[in-house]
């Protein structure tokens, strides 16, 4: 997180914010104040920003493999833990595909129908350079995104300052005791001021984690990442190419009925940027992502009888293209652009013991989206503003299901009915955004008003077979799609202020989000519990006689969050983050599902010369505002204590170490799922406990 007002203000509160950084706080500021909307290239010396938060991993004591855990330390953010590599970002109570998450700026569809691979699955922490979090909402130029935006930027070899070719190495390794996990990885390459080339590699592996009371079965993980990237600069133009291959091996997902056997992902991206004149810039990207996935219910966890064994294959392909023209003028900067996203998806459920048993719960889904936007960034007197409008045309088509001869009557009937139905949907969405702020010395007031939308996913619309696939809700319910879903509309209102002096900072934000046609599971019919429809019969056969169907309801979210800190006497400083979020249905008296409880994080840091040590407390309130509609269980509150520190051993060599959960406290994160793995030390149906006491060591070498 960084923030700072213009000019020679003391230190990058960059260093001071929740980053709990090892950088000397309140040191001289030598970075020029940049445009608040410019993306960050280099982490140190961050430009001023009113609308983006910047999270730098090397300054964060996050040693889990999942980058979602890093984002969760930001104000208003939280981690939804569905497995070691399956963490979703929650932001101000919204999660799933409501939050626009990208890796290296690239958007793509997850492979798993239960989001075993949320977008940040493809951003291993050991390769993350930094993460950009749009404050409040994401600009329309980044594509449709309802409830905020996150971009994980992976390490890359950048252009050098001089014409001569010089090498770059940025590698790291870490060990964590609670699951005996380790990660090694990084980048290496060469660059000059006109060419750059780099390769990346990472390997991560961990066992089942320990908690006070035993081991959580089926929570180990393994993941391999390989990649290469290159760039070329010629006069006014710049070209970039990147490719990554990620192979996730057997990895547990206790809140789901199955575990990951593999995710194989290929990521391609080409980018070009040309300064046509000094006022006219053209930027374009082409991207392609292919994800192949297998999950099953018998390899990592105790196997059910042969007839109930399932292996499910899921594929997702995404092709993207975008083009944007920026026009600078005395009246600010206009950006006009268009983007295209073409996706295909397939989910095929099989029984490994019976080749005649197979069915495609999502069969040859083709989705397309064509969007256009106009954005203006400039000043109206003393008020700085970013205004945006975008329109998107969405389409989704589903092929008729394929069903093997060994599949029972019920699902066959549903498949026949779905095949005979209208499997083609299209609609148009409109987004409008306005972000305003004023630079008043030590104080920066902020205001956001926006209307944002989300088109329901193919799963929510066309999954004709009742299954527990719910893009990772993990509430134990069986869901069925609804072809009549309308586009979700969210009105966002936010008011906040960034206060910063040489001694203190605080950045509180009040928000209210009103959602019309919020997509949520609702009772399948009026006679709940009476199994009188084919859907209910199939669901009952699979253990849930009260399935839910995706429906449009009305909801609202509101709350307040902030980060804050103060320089204390001597070499001490204090940093904190606090978040309060409330989510409610407006159509009935119920709470929204999986809303993070109020929580506060407080760190006290002692800054030495080239080293620092931080004692941190994390207090989490009980959560009793639970969703009856999702059979959500309440959780109790708890306080955790962590201790960590870092030291610059040599120029470019940094060592960090620490202890998490020092007092080995048993706790249950409200956003963790319920265990579905038999034979674990975690009882069936019980919320997954948080990790026990754990030590870590991390080294980073950067030249
Ligand atoms: Cu899966």
Average pLDDT of the chain is 88
* CA 66 to centroid of ligand 1, rounded, Å: 17
3-state secondary structure of 127: helix
Which pLDDT does position 59 carry in this prediction?
A: 64
The DSSP letter of residue 689 is B
Token pair 């519990």: residue: 529
pLDDT surpasses 60 at 237: yes
| Distances from the Cα of 455 to the Cα of 26, 97, 345, 428, angstroms | 45, 10, 16, 9
The token pair at 624 is 């009793």
Q: Residue 140 in contact with residue 433, Cβ under 8 Å? A: yes
* CA 332 to centroid of ligand 1, rounded, Å: 46
Average pLDDT over residues 98-114: 92
- The model's pLDDT over 172-208, given as tens digits with 9 standing for 90+, comes to 999 999 999 999 999 999 999 999 999 999 999 999 9
Half-sphere CA count of 401, side-chain side, radius 13 A:
27
Q: Which of 145-149, 238-242, 261-265 has the lowest mean pLDDT?
A: 145-149
Which residues have C-beta under 5 Å from ligand 1, the single-atom ion?
112, 116, 295
Closest to 58 (Cα-Cα) out of 647, 695, 691 = 647
pLDDT surpasses 60 at 1: no
pLDDT band at residue 55 using 50, 70 and 90 as cut-offs:
low
For the purposes of burial, counting CB atoms within 10 Å of the CB of 118, is it exposed (0-12), middle (13-18) or buried (19 or more)? buried
Average pLDDT over residues 223-230: 97
3-state secondary structure of 58: helix
* CA 96 to centroid of ligand 1, rounded, Å: 15
* CA 311 to centroid of ligand 1, rounded, Å: 10
pLDDT surpasses 50 at 4: no
* CA 347 to centroid of ligand 1, rounded, Å: 9
* CA 260 to centroid of ligand 1, rounded, Å: 6
Half-sphere CA count of 69, side-chain side, radius 13 A:
20
* CA 459 to centroid of ligand 1, rounded, Å: 13
* CA 255 to centroid of ligand 1, rounded, Å: 12
Average pLDDT over residues 665-669: 96
* CA 539 to centroid of ligand 1, rounded, Å: 19
Q: Can you tell me the distance from the alpha carbon of 14 to that of 47, in angstroms, rounded to the nearest whole number? A: 10
pLDDT band at residue 34 using 50, 70 and 90 as cut-offs:
very low
The DSSP-derived string for 245-293 is EEEE-SB--TTSSSEEEEEEEEEEEEEEEEEEETTEEEEEEEEEEEEEE
Which pLDDT does position 31 carry in this prediction?
A: 29
pLDDT surpasses 70 at 28: no
* CA 478 to centroid of ligand 1, rounded, Å: 15
* CA 314 to centroid of ligand 1, rounded, Å: 7
* CA 192 to centroid of ligand 1, rounded, Å: 42
More confident residue, 110 or 17: 110
* CA 628 to centroid of ligand 1, rounded, Å: 26
- The model's pLDDT over 63-80, given as tens digits with 9 standing for 90+, comes to 788 888 888 888 899 999
| Ramachandran angles phi, psi of 436, nearest 5° | -130, 140
Q: Residue 645 in contact with residue 657, Cβ under 8 Å? A: yes
* CA 116 to centroid of ligand 1, rounded, Å: 5
Which pLDDT does position 40 carry in this prediction?
A: 31
pLDDT surpasses 70 at 338: yes
Q: State the pairing for strand pair 479-480/548-567.
A: parallel
| Ramachandran angles phi, psi of 458, nearest 5° | -55, -35
Rounded to the nearest 10°, the torsion over CA 380, 386, 387, 389 is 160
* CA 123 to centroid of ligand 1, rounded, Å: 18
* CA 402 to centroid of ligand 1, rounded, Å: 19
Q: Can you tell me the distance from the alpha carbon of 214 to that of 678, in angstroms, rounded to the nearest whole number? A: 14
* CA 416 to centroid of ligand 1, rounded, Å: 25
Q: Residue 106 in contact with residue 142, Cβ under 8 Å? A: no
* CA 680 to centroid of ligand 1, rounded, Å: 20
* CA 247 to centroid of ligand 1, rounded, Å: 14
User: What would the 3-class secondary structure string for 544-603 be?
Assistant: CCCCEEEEEEEEEEEEEEEEEEEECCCCEEEEEEEEEEEEEECCCCCECCCCCCCEEEEE
* CA 360 to centroid of ligand 1, rounded, Å: 14
The DSSP letter of residue 146 is S
* CA 674 to centroid of ligand 1, rounded, Å: 17
* CA 28 to centroid of ligand 1, rounded, Å: 49
How many helices and strands, by DSSP H and E, does the chain display? 5, 32
- Which residues of 135-180 form beta strands (DSSP E)? 149-154, 166-176
Q: Can you tell me the distance from the alpha carbon of 418 to that of 484, in angstroms, rounded to the nearest whole number? A: 13
pLDDT surpasses 60 at 508: yes
* CA 50 to centroid of ligand 1, rounded, Å: 38
* CA 24 to centroid of ligand 1, rounded, Å: 44
pLDDT surpasses 50 at 8: no
* CA 647 to centroid of ligand 1, rounded, Å: 40
Closest to 43 (Cα-Cα) out of 172, 200, 154, 185 = 154
| 645 sits in which H/E element | strand 638-650
Q: Measure CA of the first residue to CA of the last residue in the chain; give whole Å.
A: 24
* CA 492 to centroid of ligand 1, rounded, Å: 33
The DSSP-derived string for 200-260 is EEEEEEE-PPEETTEE-SS--EEEEEEEEEEEEEETTEEEEEEEEEEEE-SB--TTSSSEE
* CA 299 to centroid of ligand 1, rounded, Å: 13
Helix axes 534-541, 409-419, angle to 10 degrees: 140
Which pLDDT does position 50 carry in this prediction?
A: 53
| 415 sits in which H/E element | helix 409-419
* CA 115 to centroid of ligand 1, rounded, Å: 7
* CA 12 to centroid of ligand 1, rounded, Å: 42
* CA 114 to centroid of ligand 1, rounded, Å: 6
* CA 466 to centroid of ligand 1, rounded, Å: 16
- The model's pLDDT over 274-327, given as tens digits with 9 standing for 90+, comes to 999 889 999 999 999 999 999 999 999 999 999 999 999 999 999 999 999 999
| Distances from the Cα of 108 to the Cα of 99, 237, 629, angstroms | 13, 26, 30
Token pair 């046609």: residue: 517
* CA 292 to centroid of ligand 1, rounded, Å: 10
* CA 112 to centroid of ligand 1, rounded, Å: 4
Q: Can you tell me the distance from the alpha carbon of 251 to that of 85, in angstroms, rounded to the nearest whole number? A: 8
Average pLDDT over residues 134-139: 88
Q: Residue 564 in contact with residue 504, Cβ under 8 Å? A: yes
Q: Which of 25-29, 51-55, 654-658 has the lowest mean pLDDT?
A: 25-29
pLDDT band at residue 115 using 50, 70 and 90 as cut-offs:
very high
Q: What is the CATH number of domain 13-702?
A: 2.40.170.20
Q: Can you tell me the distance from the alpha carbon of 321 to that of 222, in angstroms, rounded to the nearest whole number? A: 32
Closest to 114 (Cα-Cα) out of 217, 300, 256 = 256
* CA 258 to centroid of ligand 1, rounded, Å: 7
Q: Residue 169 in contact with residue 127, Cβ under 8 Å? A: no
* CA 676 to centroid of ligand 1, rounded, Å: 15
* CA 504 to centroid of ligand 1, rounded, Å: 46
Q: Is the pTM of this model over 0.85?
A: yes
* CA 689 to centroid of ligand 1, rounded, Å: 22
* CA 601 to centroid of ligand 1, rounded, Å: 33
pLDDT surpasses 90 at 26: no
* CA 295 to centroid of ligand 1, rounded, Å: 5
Q: Residue 388 in contact with residue 371, Cβ under 8 Å? A: no
* CA 259 to centroid of ligand 1, rounded, Å: 7
The DSSP letter of residue 400 is P
Q: Can you tell me the distance from the alpha carbon of 164 to that of 157, in angstroms, rounded to the nearest whole number? A: 15
Q: What percent of the chain has pLDDT over 70?
A: 91
Half-sphere CA count of 233, side-chain side, radius 13 A:
16
Q: What percent of the chain has pLDDT over 90?
A: 74
**Within a 10 A sphere around the Cβ of 477, how many other Cβ atoms?**
19
* CA 548 to centroid of ligand 1, rounded, Å: 20
| 460 sits in which H/E element | helix 458-462
| Ramachandran angles phi, psi of 255, nearest 5° | -75, -5
Which pLDDT does position 608 carry in this prediction?
A: 87
* CA 6 to centroid of ligand 1, rounded, Å: 47
Q: Which of 281-290, 344-353, 533-542 has the lowest mean pLDDT?
A: 533-542
Average pLDDT over residues 115-134: 91
* CA 303 to centroid of ligand 1, rounded, Å: 17
* CA 626 to centroid of ligand 1, rounded, Å: 26
* CA 470 to centroid of ligand 1, rounded, Å: 11
Sign (positive or negative) of CA dihedral 155, 94, 563, 694? negative
């Amino acid at each position: 997180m960084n923030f700072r007002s213009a000019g020679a203000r003391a230190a990058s509160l960059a260093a001071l914010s929740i980053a709990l950084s090892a950088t000397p706080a309140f040191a001289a500021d030598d970075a020029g104040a940049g445009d608040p909307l410019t993306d960050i290239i280099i982490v140190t010396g961050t430009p001023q920003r009113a609308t983006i938060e910047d999270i730098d991993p090397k300054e964060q004591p996050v040693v889990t493999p999942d980058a979602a855990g890093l984002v969760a330390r930001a104000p208003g953010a939280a981690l939804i833990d569905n497995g070691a590599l399956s963490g979703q970002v929650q932001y101000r109570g919204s999660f799933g595909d409501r939050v626009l998450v990208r890796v290296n700026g690239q958007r793509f569809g997850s492979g798993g129908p239960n989001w075993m691979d949320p977008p940040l699955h493809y951003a291993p922490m050991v390769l993350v350079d930094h993460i950009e979090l749009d404050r409040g909402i994401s600009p329309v130029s980044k594509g449709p995104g309802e409830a905020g935006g996150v971009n994980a930027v992976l390490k890359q070899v950048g252009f050098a300052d001089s014409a001569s070719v010089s090498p770059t190495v940025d590698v790291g390794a870490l060990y964590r005791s609670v699951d005996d996990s380790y990660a090694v990885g990084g980048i290496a390459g060469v660059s000059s001021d006109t060419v750059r080339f780099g390769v990346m590699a990472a390997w991560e592996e961990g066992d089942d984690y320990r908690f006070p009371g035993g081991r959580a079965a089926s929570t180990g993980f393994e993941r391999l990442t390989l990649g290469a990237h290159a760039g070329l600069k010629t006069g006014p133009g710049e070209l970039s190419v990147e490719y990554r291959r990620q192979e996730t091996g057997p990895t547990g997902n206790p809140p789901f009925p199955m575990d990951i056997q593999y995710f194989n992902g290929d990521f391609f991206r080409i980018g070009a940027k040309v300064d046509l004149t000094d006022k006219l810039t053209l930027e374009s990207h082409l991207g392609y992502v292919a994800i192949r996935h297998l999950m099953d219910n018998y390899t990592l966890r105790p196997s059910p009888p042969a007839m109930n064994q399932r292996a499910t294959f899921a594929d997702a392909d995404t092709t993207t293209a975008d083009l944007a023209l920026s026009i600078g003028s005395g009246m600010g900067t206009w950006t006009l652009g268009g983007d295209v996203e073409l996706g295909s998806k397939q989910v095929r459920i099989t029984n490994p013991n019976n080749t005649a048993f197979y069915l495609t719960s999502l069969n040859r889904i083709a989705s397309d989206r064509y969007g256009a936007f106009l954005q203006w960034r400039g000043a109206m007197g003393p008020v700085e503003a970013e205004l945006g409008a975008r329109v998107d045309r969405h389409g989704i088509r589903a092929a008729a299901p394929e069903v093997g001869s060994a599949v029972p009557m019920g699902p066959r009937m549903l498949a026949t009915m779905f095949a005979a139905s209208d499997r083609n949907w299209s609609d148009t969405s409109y987004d409008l955004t306005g972000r305003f702020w004023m630079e008043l010395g030590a104080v920066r007031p902020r205001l956001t008003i926006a209307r944002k939308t989300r088109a329901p996913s193919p799963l929510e619309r066309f999954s004709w077979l009742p299954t527990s696939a719910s893009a990772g809700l993990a509430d134990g319910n069986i869901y069925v799609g609804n072809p009549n879903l309308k586009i979700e509309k969210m009105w966002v209102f936010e008011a906040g202020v960034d206060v910063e002096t040489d001694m203190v900072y605080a950045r509180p934000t009040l928000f209210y989000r009103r959602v019309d046609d919020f997509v949520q599971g609702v009772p399948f019919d009026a006679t709940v519990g009476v199994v009188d429809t084919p859907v209910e019969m199939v669901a009952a056969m699979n253990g849930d006689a009260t399935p839910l169907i995706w429906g449009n309801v009305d909801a609202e979210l509101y709350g307040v969050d902030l980060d804050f800190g103060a320089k204390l006497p001597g070499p001490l400083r204090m940093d904190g983050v606090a978040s309060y979020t409330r989510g409610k249905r407006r159509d009935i008296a119920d709470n929204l599902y999986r809303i993070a409880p109020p929580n506060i994080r407080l760190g006290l840091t002692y800054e030495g010369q080239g080293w620092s040590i931080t004692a941190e407390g994390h207090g989490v309130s009980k959560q009793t505002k639970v969703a009856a509609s999702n059979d959500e269980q309440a959780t109790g509150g708890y306080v955790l204590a962590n201790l960590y520190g870092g030291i610059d051993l040599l120029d470019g060599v940094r060592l960090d170490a620490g202890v998490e959960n020092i007092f080995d406290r048993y706790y249950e994160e409200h956003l963790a799922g319920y265990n579905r793995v038999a034979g674990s030390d975690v009882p069936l149906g019980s919320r997954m406990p948080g990790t026990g006491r754990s030590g870590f060591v991390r080294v980073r070498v950067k030249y």
